[in-house]
Chain A
Amino acid sequence: MLQRLSTYFYLRPKLVLWLLLGPPLAYMFVVYLGSLFNLLVNSFYYLEPFTGLIVREFTLSTYARIFEPANLEILSRTTIMATAVTLVDALIAFPLAYFIARYASPKLKTWLIIAVTIPLWSSYLVRVYAWKLILAKEGILSWFINLLGLNSVLDWLLSIEGIGGSSLALSPIGMFIVFAYIWLPYMILPIQTALERVPHSLVEASSDLGAKPLQTFQTVLLPLAFPGVVAGSIFTFSLTLGDFIIPLSLGNSKFFVGQAVYSYQGTAGDIPLAAAMTMGPVVIMVIYLLIARRLGAFDAL
């Protein structure tokens, strides 16, 4: 009986394919794309200010509100933060990923990858709160900076308009440090995977043909690992764009997109504006991916 069933499926590979693909495809279309579509639809409704009710009529007035200075500022602040986090993560991740991919022995490699992913084992909230303590005025980082006698540097940093604050924990600098830390594994792993796929003979060939190490990096390694960098940056960039826990826990009272969405749909009950605000990061990501494609990020895939 079982054997006949096996034979039945063996002779119908397409049926097997559909049985396997069906559930995930259904999930993706209904739950994932469906909710995105729902979001899109909601962003074209508006909240009647007097009654506080959502009017389900097509309008662009909600989108117009995004262009109010306060909301534009939130969008640009978030985008700048996401860009800074992405750039710094890429700079930190590349050498690490290169070491893991090229120089680490198989055993060391396993340990390093575990080390990179260990932070992901513990709750993200716990780690954010841990950082809050580390960055606090009386926290270990301030203590250490004090020990090094770099107090004046810290004070100077915290006095800078826009990124400073009364302590690291209450400044955008602190928020930036935590963002960069939290998303770093998502940058290291794709770059490592990309570098893993670059045959070492290409690096040798470049050097053999007279390229100095920096030239080899620019003309061979970076272009070939670029898809990995882009993949990693999609994570760090979009995760920063959408996050609301870190801006809520650290930094000053200035809003980020995630926070704004959170408060619009919560206390204000303005679902359409929250939906429209969410479309901001989506549009920014689409623009980002188009630029990445232009730069040839996906050519080597």
Chain B
Amino acid sequence: MTNQSMPAIKFERVSRYFGDVRAVDEADIEIRDGEFFSMLGPSGSGKTTCLRMIAGFDRPTSGHIYLYGQDVSNLPPYERDVNTVFQDYALFPHMSVADNIAYGLMVKNVAKAERIKRADEMLDLVQLSGFGARKPSQLSGGQRQRVALARALINHPKVLLLDEPLGALDLKLRQQMQIELKAIQKRVGITFIFVTHDQEEALTMSDRIALFNQGKIEQIGTPSEIYEHPISKFVANFVGTSNLVSGDVAKRITGTEITFSIRPEKIHLGSINDKAPSDSYTSDGTVRDVIYLGLYTRYHVELDGGGDLVVIEQNLKTTSMDVLKIKGQRARLHWNKEHISKMGA
């Protein structure tokens, strides 16, 4: 039915202003058919506005949005083949779980027997068989989340929108739902567009990520592209943590005055007598601070001649006693030249 080469969603210079505020500023996005696509960014970066414009709750001030080639920029939500899982789930409190799930069928006048059958199938899909007669208020947060998902999937939308759906869940449940969501997406084969401000969540689940900042898209790419090769300071800082090196310090290390980022876990912290491999950058310094975090330890190293770097090393063989002794000692840092990301000033 859907054309493989046709993008599921295409933004063409889409802007949305609220008064003087440019919530979304000339965004161009292409989301592929069947993709798990995340819109990542801090709050107020425009990601939710983009989602709301795809759903039809909001309309672009300028530009066009295409859903499988059809210009939907000015269609009301009920005429779009797109469904949404809301941040607060938005379950109808006066209806049973089954009626909530079958709502999309009811408003399309599908016969009752068919509605019940398909609602049951959806309940199976989200592992809530037998919960149909309950009211949403009788469910836990995770269960409501599943009901919201089932309700949004029952119409077989071309695109499913998820607006920070895991935000209200605790960490364990969130991790479980991340895996489950991904599995459900594989099963139903629908394009998922996932809005989140949690970079780890985006990295875990997405095929591709668009990183938003102040209404503009900073970078679109696969999780590894975004993580390994951030194209700007903002990306490097927002996704994971990064050391940003520029000016004199950069010149001392690389020989040229560039700005680059290096992930703390890519840096090797060795004793001052270590011989660094030939294809690596190196810098000596003094360990000023050691923060033991169980799984890994974070070291703050003051470089000789100014500047400092954060280094993370896993505690594979070391204990807290071992690492704390390193504080105040001299160290030689080195890392593979390929691991730096150069960026514009």
Contacts and interface: CB of A to CB of B under 8 A. Distances in A.
A142 to B, nearest CB: 45
B103 A209 contact: yes
B77 A201 contact: no
Contact of A224 (B78, B87, B93, B151): B93
B10 to A, nearest CB: 20
Given A206-B103, A210-B78, A300 B94 contact: yes
A205 B78 contact: no
A97 to B, nearest CB: 19
A204 B78 contact: no
A260 to B, nearest CB: 41
A205 B55 CA distance: 10
B124 to A, nearest CB: 20
B77 A207 contact: yes
B86 interface: yes
A209 B94 contact: no
Contact of A219 (B57, B91, B107): B107
A58 B151 CA distance: 62
Contacts of A209: 78, 83, 103-104, 107, 151-152, 155
A212 B83 CA distance: 14
B106 to A, nearest CB: 8
Contact of B90 (A202, A215, A224, A296): A202
B88 interface: yes
A296 B135 CA distance: 15
A207 B90 contact: no
A169 to B, nearest CB: 44
A138 interface: no
A247 B35 CA distance: 70
Given A215-B107, A223-B94, A205 B155 contact: no
Query: How would you classify the secondary structure of chain B's contact residues: helix, strand, loop or mixed?
Result: loop
A206 B55 CA distance: 12
Nearest to A201: B90
B131 interface: no
A204 B103 contact: no
A210 to B, nearest CB: 5
B322 to A, nearest CB: 52
Contacts of B108: 210
A207 B82 CA distance: 11
A300 B152 CA distance: 24
Interface string A259-301: 0000000000000000000000000000000000000100110
Interface in A198-237: 199, 201-202, 204-212, 215, 219-220, 223-224
A197 to B, nearest CB: 10
Nearest to A209: B104
A224 B93 CA distance: 8
A224 B94 contact: yes
Contact of B57 (A202, A204, A224): A204
B209 to A, nearest CB: 24
A206 B152 CA distance: 10
Contacts of B88: 199, 201
B118 to A, nearest CB: 13
A204 B93 contact: no
Main secondary structure of the interface of A (DSSP, over half): helix
A210 B107 contact: yes
Interface string B21-60: 0000000000000000000000000000000000111000
B92 A208 contact: no
A255 B127 CA distance: 65
B167 interface: no
A299 B94 contact: yes
Contacts of B87: 201
A220 B56 CA distance: 19
B307 interface: no
B84 A211 contact: no
A65 B171 CA distance: 72
A220 B84 CA distance: 17
Contact of A208 (B77, B91, B93): B77
B78 A199 contact: no
Contacts of B247: none
B154 to A, nearest CB: 8
B104 A210 contact: yes
A204 B92 contact: no
Nearest to A296: B94
B76 interface: yes
A68 to B, nearest CB: 45
A201 B106 CA distance: 19
Interface in B69-126: 76-78, 82-84, 86-88, 90-94, 103-104, 106-108
Given A199-B88, A207-B78, 13 more contacts: A204-B55, A204-B90, A205-B90, A205-B151, A206-B92, A207-B77, A208-B77, A208-B83, A209-B151, A210-B104, A212-B78, A219-B92, A219-B107
26 contacts: A199-B88, A201-B86, A201-B87, A201-B90, A202-B90, A204-B77, A204-B86, A204-B90, A205-B84, A205-B151, A206-B103, A208-B55, A208-B78, A208-B83, A209-B107, A209-B151, A209-B155, A212-B78, A212-B107, A219-B92, A219-B103, A219-B106, A219-B107, A224-B93, A300-B93, A300-B94
Interface of B: 55-57, 76-78, 82-84, 86-88, 90-94, 103-104, 106-108, 151-152, 155
